[in-house]
């Protein structure tokens, strides 16, 4: 079996999550986060159709075929949560919650934008505590 590296268009990556719907889920939450001392950075998009190496874009209109969506959430005391969602249903989730509290969080099996929103809420609670408090 041929091993393939994620360069250029990959017709074998299933489109599981609508990234525009996931962006709306982020925006909905980001509107509430400032009350909890959290701030969402600008969304970043990667275009599957762009030539390698693909650049991250902050303007969705410049992306024809989005294959990933990212956001950095910042909180008190320098805590950060970085989430990059891929349309195939997984995410790269990294966090720094303190000098000795950093790592990655499990992020596979995301079947929809709604499921992503639920997982995002969980990741925010893990890193920053309950923002509703």
Predicted pLDDT of residue 1: 32
- pTM of model > 0.85: yes
Q: What's the per-residue H, E or C state across the chain?
A: CCCCCCCCCCCCCCCCCCHHHHHHHHHHHHCCHHHHCCEECCCEEEECCCCCCCCEECCHHHCCCEEEEEEEEECHHHCEEEEEEECCCEEEEEEEEECCEEEECCCCCCCCHHHHHHHHHHHHHHHHCCCCC
Quick check: 103 pLDDT over 60?
yes
- Report pLDDT digits (tens) over 42-89: 999 999 999 999 999 999 999 999 999 999 999 999 999 999 999 999
Q: What is the pLDDT of residue 133?
A: 52
Q: Domain limits of the chain?
A: 19-128
Predicted confidence band of residue 98 (pLDDT cuts 50, 70, 90) = confident
């Amino acid at each position: 079996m041929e091993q393939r590296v994620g360069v250029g268009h990959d017709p074998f990556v299933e489109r599981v999550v609508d990234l525009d719907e996931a962006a709306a889920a982020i925006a909905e939450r980001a509107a509430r986060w400032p009350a909890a001392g959290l701030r969402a950075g600008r969304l970043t998009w990667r275009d599957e159709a762009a030539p390698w190496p693909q650049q991250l874009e902050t303007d969705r209109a410049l992306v024809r075929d989005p294959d990933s969506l990212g956001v950095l959430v910042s909180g008190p005391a320098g805590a950060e949560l970085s989430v990059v969602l891929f349309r195939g249903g997984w995410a790269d989730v990294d966090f720094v919650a303190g000098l000795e509290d950093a790592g990655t969080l499990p992020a596979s099996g995301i079947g929809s934008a709604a499921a992503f929103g639920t997982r995002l809420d969980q990741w925010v609670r893990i890193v920053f505590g309950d923002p509703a408090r």
